[in-house]
Chains A and B, each alone.
Chain A
Amino acid sequence: MNILTKVCVIPLACLIVFPTVVMGGEVDSLVIDANSTYTVTNAQSELFLKSLTIGDNAVIQFDPDVVRWHLQASSANVGKGVVINASGLPGGNGIVGKGATGVADECGDGKLGEDGGHGSNGTDGVAISMRLAISAIGSLTIKAVGGEGGSGGRGGAGQQAGKVIRCTGPDGGAGGQGGEGGDGGNGSYVRIVYSYLEGAVASGTLSKFITVDNTGGIAGKGASGGHGGGGAEGKYINMRTLTGSKKWMPAGQTGVEGRGGKAGRIGVAGQTLIERDLEGRISTFVQSQTRQQDSVKAIQQSMLLEQQAAAQAALEAAALSAAKLAKVNAELSLFKQQSVNLKQQLSEIVLNNQAASVNAKAKTTLAATESEGLRQLVGELQAQITTLETLLVKSDEQRILSNEKFLALTVSVDGIKTEQQVAQKERADKSKESQKVVDQLLRRLEVLEKRPPQEIIKEKIVEKVIEKAEMTGVKPVTEGQ
């Protein structure tokens, strides 16, 4: 692997291995498990999330260098007992003044104790700004209290005075002054702009679910001054006096106690602002409307598809009806052809009957003799006619059935027509074509209806009679007869 390869590969590997780092604060979603603690770093001072889920009893805290936090989530699900600890850090305590240790030189006053250091100020709470679209919320506590000011350091003790040798008793050293307390940090600014998502579990004002404590930090306590050093004790020394050689040397004074440090200033309470996100609500409403419009469009499309399917089915039914009609037409054509043939045959029979009538007159006499036989034949014919009448009854029944079928077809066609009329509202062109087909079918049906089946049956009966007559040689009775 040469240098160029290494230079190219290593950053690429970093991009692959550490995508979160590369992406910085841009995170699509954040899930904080229940009972866990999540620490916000300075790099996450601004978080824009599509989804935020915080489990029950989770705690969010901040690195010391984070001074503000903006959180924006398009969908927030906050559990119960969640705590955001954005309180400032307490100030450090002042250094305790160093006491003047030991004993001063002989006849010397004690040295002063060192002053105590001042407590440092507590830090301000982390300013929090949140814009949340809430889907569910349990309870949330935001602690944004200013840090407590540090206590001042106690003053150092004064030094013990030196011994009396040949002097008035020296005084003890004064105690150092107590350090002043640090100022409490200011409570932070907390602003929450919220809205509820459609179908959110919670509702109403968010203050019901959120508790904010952003009071100012407690002032640091001032420290007491250091104790003064002890003065020298009085004692007798050998010295010339009016009362002998012993002189009482007075004691030294105890050192003055150091002045106490002042307490710090209490931090200023922060402001809290919890308000509904009107812009978000409008946006949500618009989104809802858009979704509803999309839904309406989908319904319309679905209805259109259903209409198309219904029209298709109607077309198919019409095609099927057309096929059936074609079949009926074919049968009718066949009947028609047969009827034409029967007419021709009947005409021939009539001609033949006219020709035969001449012969018949001549043979009337002969026929009289044979009348008895004819009567028998007539009887037979009557029987046959009875049979034919039975058939005719059956044909009537078939006709009735056929009529019922026709009626059913008519109803079906009417339904199809109705459906087509409904479909025609959306698709007029197809409806027109369907109507044309239906009209054609209706016309054909009307044509068919104009041809009553009794006539056809009658023709068929005539044909059968003629056929029988031909077969038996008996002259058939004509229509005139």
Chain B
Amino acid sequence: MRSTISKAVRLATLGLTAAGAMAISQTTMAEVDVSASAGVASAYLFRGVDLGAGNAAVFGDITASAGGAYASVWASSGDAGLGSEYDLILGYGLEMDDFSVDAGVVNYVYPSNDDYDSIGQLTEVYVNLGFKMIGFSYYNNVSDQAKGNAIGSEGYEYYSLSGDVGSFSALVGYADPEEVSGSKVDLDYTHIDLSYAYNDNLSFTASKIVDFDDDSTPNAGIDDDLLFVVSYSLPIK
């Protein structure tokens, strides 16, 4: 059942991505807005998991958007397991009054890792839906060579429900890696992130995995201790 839904979402995401690509081509004549930022964080927090093993990381991004379509490159000093990383993102977003829709594709590239050093080796499609301050996101690993990553070896999906109030944000995420067929190990988990933007540059995030069967998944590399991350971002216009 879950697999059927996943396939439908994948198709929808791909359709939206294709539509976003078309929109980019149609809006080439439109004004292109470019923004960039760089920053540093005390940890590499990804979906409730500290990928940096307690090490700080730096990042930078640049995004070009036009008419709702956008393309972005996000780079980081990487995690402890795969090394440095850059992500290529292509998407399309729409906002109509209180509603928002955003869909796209993200490629995670780890140059220092042979398994994931090319585009398409670790790819996700995503859909973000929003209504006022509430948002729902869905990510799905659609790469053919999805294997051996930190989350799981058979692909995965990720769901999140978030709410924003001013400079506060709360998120509940649910990671659903595909377990190996016949395995009794349950890799699913739920985490909660609470973020506060002190100002335009400094923000704090507390994250905790709240639902993880640590007993059934020994040595899965997931720590459910509370994480607290400080990040400093410097937007560049």
Instruction: Spell out A's residues near B (CB within 8 Å).
Output: 105-108, 163, 165-169, 234-236, 238-251
- Interchain CB contact (< 8 A) of B237 among A168, A239, A251: A168
- Interchain CB contact (< 8 A) of A248 among B33, B63, B137, B203: B203
**Known A166-B70, A167-B33, A242-B45: A107·B205 in contact at CB below 8 Å:** no
Task: Report chain A residues within 8 Å CB of B207.
Answer: 244
**Known A238-B102, A240-B106, A242-B39: A248·B197 in contact at CB below 8 Å:** yes
> Which B residue sits closest to A107, measured CB to CB?
B33
Structural contact, A241 and B35, CB atoms closer than 8 A? no
Instruction: Decide yes or no whether B12 CB sits under 8 A from chain A.
Output: no
- Min Cβ gap A51→B in Å is 79
Structural contact, B59 and A246, CB atoms closer than 8 A? no
**Known A106-B95, A167-B35, A234-B197: A242·B65 in contact at CB below 8 Å:** no
A-B contact pairs, 25 of them (CB 8 A): A106-B95, A107-B33, A108-B31, A166-B72, A166-B93, A167-B63, A234-B197, A234-B200, A236-B164, A236-B169, A236-B197, A238-B102, A238-B135, A239-B61, A239-B74, A240-B89, A240-B106, A241-B231, A242-B41, A242-B59, A242-B76, A245-B137, A246-B193, A248-B169, A250-B201
- With the chains together, A235 CA to B135 CA distance in Å? 13
Instruction: Decide yes or no whether B82 CB sits under 8 A from chain A.
Output: no
Structural contact, A250 and B200, CB atoms closer than 8 A? yes
Task: Report chain A residues within 8 Å CB of B135.
Answer: 238
- With the chains together, A106 CA to B70 CA distance in Å? 13
Structural contact, B68 and A244, CB atoms closer than 8 A? no
Task: Report chain B residues within 8 Å CB of A106.
Answer: 95
- Min Cβ gap B229→A in Å is 5
- Interchain CB contact (< 8 A) of B195 among A107, A165, A167, A246: A246
- Interchain CB contact (< 8 A) of A166 among B63, B87, B236: B63
- Min Cβ gap B97→A in Å is 11
> Which A residue sits closest to B202, measured CB to CB?
A248
Structural contact, B167 and A234, CB atoms closer than 8 A? yes
> Which A residue sits closest to B198, measured CB to CB?
A248
Structural contact, A243 and B74, CB atoms closer than 8 A? no
- With the chains together, A166 CA to B231 CA distance in Å? 19
- Min Cβ gap A455→B in Å is 162
- Min Cβ gap A245→B in Å is 7
Structural contact, B233 and A248, CB atoms closer than 8 A? yes
- Interface residue range, chain B: 35 or more
Structural contact, A168 and B235, CB atoms closer than 8 A? yes
Main secondary structure of the interface of B (DSSP, over half): strand
Structural contact, B167 and A248, CB atoms closer than 8 A? yes
Task: Report chain B residues within 8 Å CB of A241.
Answer: 41, 59, 231, 233
Interface residues in B209-225 by Cβ distance below 8 A to A read none
Instruction: Decide yes or no whether B10 CB sits under 8 A from chain A.
Output: no
- With the chains together, A166 CA to B37 CA distance in Å? 12
Instruction: Decide yes or no whether B151 CB sits under 8 A from chain A.
Output: no
Structural contact, B200 and A242, CB atoms closer than 8 A? no
Task: Report chain A residues within 8 Å CB of B84.
Answer: none
Task: Report chain B residues within 8 Å CB of A244.
Answer: 45-47, 171, 193, 195, 205, 207
CB-CB contacts of B69-108 with A at 8 A, as 1s and 0s? 0101010100000000001010001010000001000100
Structural contact, B65 and A168, CB atoms closer than 8 A? no
- Interchain CB contact (< 8 A) of B65 among A167, A235, A248: A167
> Which B residue sits closest to A240, measured CB to CB?
B74
- Min Cβ gap A168→B in Å is 4
Task: Report chain B residues within 8 Å CB of A251.
Answer: 200
Task: Report chain A residues within 8 Å CB of B201.
Answer: 250
- Min Cβ gap B227→A in Å is 9
Task: Report chain B residues within 8 Å CB of A166.
Answer: 35, 63, 65, 70, 72, 93
Task: Report chain A residues within 8 Å CB of B236.
Answer: 168
- With the chains together, A31 CA to B50 CA distance in Å? 103
- Min Cβ gap B103→A in Å is 11
- With the chains together, A236 CA to B74 CA distance in Å? 17
- Min Cβ gap A173→B in Å is 16
Structural contact, B44 and A242, CB atoms closer than 8 A? yes
Residue among A234, A238, A242 with max Cβ neighbours from chain B (10 Å): A242
Q: Which 5 A-B pairs have the closest CB atoms?
A: A250-B200, A242-B41, A248-B197, A243-B205, A168-B235
Instruction: Decide yes or no whether B128 CB sits under 8 A from chain A.
Output: yes
Instruction: Decide yes or no whether B43 CB sits under 8 A from chain A.
Output: yes
Task: Report chain B residues within 8 Å CB of A235.
Answer: 164
Residue among B59, B63, B195 with max Cβ neighbours from chain A (10 Å): B195
Instruction: Decide yes or no whether B162 CB sits under 8 A from chain A.
Output: yes
- With the chains together, A248 CA to B232 CA distance in Å? 11
- Min Cβ gap B76→A in Å is 6
> Which B residue sits closest to A248, measured CB to CB?
B197
- Min Cβ gap B208→A in Å is 12
Residue among A169, A244, A247 with max Cβ neighbours from chain B (10 Å): A244
Task: Report chain A residues within 8 Å CB of B47.
Answer: 244-245
Given pairs A108-B31, A167-B33, A234-B197, 12 additional interface contacts (CB within 8 A): A166-B72, A168-B37, A236-B162, A236-B195, A238-B128, A239-B72, A242-B39, A243-B229, A245-B47, A245-B160, A246-B162, A246-B169
Task: Report chain B residues within 8 Å CB of A239.
Answer: 61, 72, 74
Task: Report chain B residues within 8 Å CB of A169.
Answer: 200
Instruction: Decide yes or no whether B142 CB sits under 8 A from chain A.
Output: no
- With the chains together, A63 CA to B103 CA distance in Å? 73
- With the chains together, A244 CA to B194 CA distance in Å? 10
- With the chains together, A247 CA to B37 CA distance in Å? 11
Task: Report chain B residues within 8 Å CB of A167.
Answer: 33, 35, 63, 65
- Min Cβ gap B220→A in Å is 20
Task: Report chain A residues within 8 Å CB of B74.
Answer: 239-240
Structural contact, B164 and A168, CB atoms closer than 8 A? no
- Min Cβ gap A184→B in Å is 46
Structural contact, A243 and B231, CB atoms closer than 8 A? yes
